[in-house]
Structure 1
Amino acid sequence: MYRCYPEPPGIEPSPGADALAALLLRHHNPFHPLESPLELVALGGGAALSPALVVQTLLRLRHASKVALAFFVSVRDHLHHHRCNGGAQPLLGPAAYDAMVDILGRVRQFDVAWQLIVEMGGGGGGGGDVGPTPRTFAVLVRRYVAAGMTRQAIRSFDDMEAFVGREPSSAEFQMLLDTLCKYGHAKVATEIFNKRKSKYEPDEKTYSILIYGWCKVNQLEMAQKFLKEMTDRGVEPNIVTYNILLNGICRHASLHPENRFDRTIRAAEDLLKEMGSRGIEPDVTSYSIILHVYSRPTNPSSVFICSGQ
Structure 2
Amino acid sequence: MFRSSKDAIFLFLRGINTNTYKTQSLQPIVRYLHTSDRIEGNQNGTKTSKDDYFAAIHHISNIVQRDFYMERTLNKMRISIDSELVYRVLRACSKSGTESLRFFNWARTHHPSYKPTTVELEELARTLARTKKYESMWKTLQQMQTLHGLIVSSDTLCFIIEEYGKQGLVDQAVQVFNRASKIFRCQQTVELHNSLLFSLCEVKLFHGAYALVRRMIRKGLVPDKRTYTILVNAWCSAGKMREAELFLKEMSEKGFNPPVRGRDLLVEGLLNAGYIESAKEMVKRMVKQGFSPDVSTFNSVVEVISKSGEVEFCIELYHEVCRIGLVPDINTYKVLIPAVSKLGRIDEAFKLLHNSIEDGHKPFPSLYAPIIKGMCKSGQFDDAHCFFSEMKVKGHPPNRPVYTMLITMFGRGGRFIEAANFLMEMTELGLTPISRCFDLVTDGLKNCGKHDLASRIEQLEVSVHQRELGIHLSTQSNRSPNPMSYEVFEDGELM
Asked if TM exceeds 0.5, the reply is: yes
> Is 1:268 the equivalent of 2:279?
no
- Number of the residue aligned with 2:136: 112
- Number of the residue aligned with 1:304: 316
- Number of the residue aligned with 2:58: 18
Structure-2 separation of matches of 1:114 and 1:180: 22
- Number of the residue aligned with 2:71: 34
2:160 alignment partner AA: L
- Number of the residue aligned with 1:137: 157
Distance 1:167 1:299, change over 3 A: closer
Structure-1 separation of matches of 2:67 and 2:311: 61
> Is 1:164 the equivalent of 2:176?
no
| SS state at 1:197 partner | helix
1:15, distance to aligned residue in structure 2 (A): 2.4
1:174, distance to aligned residue in structure 2 (A): 2.5
Structure-2 separation of matches of 1:53 and 1:289: 39
- Number of the residue aligned with 1:225: 246
Q: Does structure 1 retain, via aligned residues, the 8 Å contact 2:57–2:85?
A: yes
Distance 1:169 1:292, change over 3 A: closer
> Is 1:247 the equivalent of 2:277?
no
- Number of the residue aligned with 2:296: 285
Q: Does structure 1 retain, via aligned residues, the 8 Å contact 2:193–2:212?
A: no
Please tell me the root mean square deviation across aligned C-alpha atoms, in Å. 3.5
> Is 1:48 the equivalent of 2:59?
no
Structure-1 separation of matches of 2:234 and 2:290: 21
Look at both structures and tell me which one has the larger radius of gyration over its CA atoms: 2
1:110 alignment partner AA: Y
Distance 1:173 1:120, change over 3 A: farther
Q: Would you tell me which structure has more helix in proportion to its own residues?
A: 2
- Structure 1's unaligned 5+ residue stretches are 1-11, 84-89
- Number of the residue aligned with 2:104: 72
Calculate percent identity across the aligned residue pairs: 18
Taking structure 1 as the reference length, what is the TM-score of the superposition? 0.70
1:56, distance to aligned residue in structure 2 (A): 1.4
Structure-1 separation of matches of 2:220 and 2:232: 17
1:60 alignment partner AA: A
Aligned equivalent of 1:147, options 167, 173, 176: 167
Structure-1 separation of matches of 2:247 and 2:288: 18
| SS state at 2:218 partner | coil
- Number of the residue aligned with 2:233: 212
Distance 1:298 1:51, change over 3 A: closer
Structure-1 separation of matches of 2:54 and 2:203: 36
Q: Does structure 1 retain, via aligned residues, the 8 Å contact 2:283–2:293?
A: no
> Is 1:177 the equivalent of 2:173?
no
CA deviations on 1:69-113 (whole Å, 9 max, x unpaired) are: 21111222333x425xxxxxx3x2122222222222233221211
Distance 1:299 1:275, change over 3 A: closer
1:159, distance to aligned residue in structure 2 (A): 0.8
Length, aligned pairs only: 267
Structure-1 separation of matches of 2:241 and 2:157: 31
Distance 1:198 1:214, change over 3 A: same
Structure-1 separation of matches of 2:178 and 2:82: 33
2:113 alignment partner AA: H
Structure-2 separation of matches of 1:237 and 1:192: 17
Distance 1:159 1:51, change over 3 A: same
Distance 1:82 1:302, change over 3 A: closer
The 5-angstrom pairing of residues 120-135 of structure 1 reads: 120-122=144-146, 124=147, 128-135=148-155
- Number of the residue aligned with 2:258: 237
